[in-house]
Amino acid sequence: MKKNAGGGKKGVFISFEGIEGTGKSTQARLLSEYLTKKGLKTVLTEEPGGAPISLQIRKVLLSTKHKEMDYLTELLLYNAARIQHIKEKIIPAINGGRIVITDRFSDSTAAYQGYGRGISLKLIDSLDRIATGRMRPDLTILLDLDVETGLMRNKKINKRDRLELEDVKFHKRVRKGYLRLAAMEPERIKLIKASKGIEEIHREVLRIVEKVLR
């Protein structure tokens, strides 16, 4: 662990990524519960969200009423929500030595707005530099699943938001984008097949996380 400005131990930043229906939220929660039981201070959070303003932005972004939303508006709102999230929750927790587990972070923007919407990756990268100062998780777990299975899983639990309503082709581009990101940064982004059972995936997550925490 790195030291913070006060000489104390800096926390660890872990993100979960993937297309819809991969079970990210479940795995993020299971990891957080496991680490908490072990006596480690963890903070479980999500994007868009994690701070009051970010949660308001989440409502605007995910409302199925907002079909007219421009792709650039969407991109800027995800970044705006992230700025508040980092400032109010992530940085204070990491400086306080906590393990921060977030359900989505910057890779979601590259995958959805970049590869999915087709916005220039250069523009996305420039905005990311402004919003995050190039902050990256120490570890990213990418849960990979075929698009049809993922969308079907969400349909079963009646989960529908503005982005989930996009067609299968969109979600396929997002998945491909994630796989490209993982290939570009194999040290940080670890891929797990999400077609396995919840328990098996959880055990795999623990094996990866324990290496990082050691």
Measured distance CA(45)–CA(77) in Å, rounded: 18
Q: Does 13 bind ligand TMP (CB under 6 A)?
A: no
Q: Does 151 bind ligand TMP (CB under 6 A)?
A: no
Tell me the two tokens of residue 142: 């990418």
- In the complex, least distance from residue 115 CB atom to ligand TMP, rounded to whole angstroms: 11
Tell me the two tokens of residue 103: 């359900």
The amino acid sitting at 187 is E
Closest CA to 90 of 14, 1, 39: 14
Identify which of residues 98 and 173 has a Cβ nearer to ligand TMP in the complex.
173
Measured distance CA(38)–CA(97) in Å, rounded: 15
Q: Which member of 13, 16, 112, 178 binds ligand TMP (CB under 6 A)?
A: 112
Q: Which member of 22, 45, 108, 132 binds ligand TMP (CB under 6 A)?
A: 108
- In the complex, least distance from residue 20 CB atom to ligand TMP, rounded to whole angstroms: 6
Pairing of strands 12-18, 99-103: parallel
- In the complex, least distance from residue 170 CB atom to ligand TMP, rounded to whole angstroms: 10
> Under 8 Å CB-to-CB from 9, ≥6 apart: which residues?
1, 2, 3, 97
Identify which of residues 42 and 109 has a Cβ nearer to ligand TMP in the complex.
109
Torsion angle (degrees, nearest 10) of CA 191, 196, 198, 202: -40
Q: Which of residues 156-175 bind ligand TMP (CB under 6 A)?
A: 161, 163-164
Q: Which member of 27, 35, 47, 194 binds ligand TMP (CB under 6 A)?
A: 47
> Under 8 Å CB-to-CB from 213, ≥6 apart: which residues?
12, 40, 99
- In the complex, least distance from residue 99 CB atom to ligand TMP, rounded to whole angstroms: 20
Q: Which of residues 51-90 bind ligand TMP (CB under 6 A)?
A: 78
Identify which of residues 80 and 206 has a Cβ nearer to ligand TMP in the complex.
80
Q: Which member of 54, 84, 109, 132 binds ligand TMP (CB under 6 A)?
A: 109
- Length of the chain equals 214
Tell me the two tokens of residue 17: 């990524």
- In the complex, least distance from residue 128 CB atom to ligand TMP, rounded to whole angstroms: 10
Q: Are 14 and 66 in contact (CB under 8 A)?
A: no
Identify which of residues 20 and 138 has a Cβ nearer to ligand TMP in the complex.
20
Binding region for ligand TMP (CB under 6 A): 20, 46-48, 78, 104, 108-109, 112-113, 161, 163-164
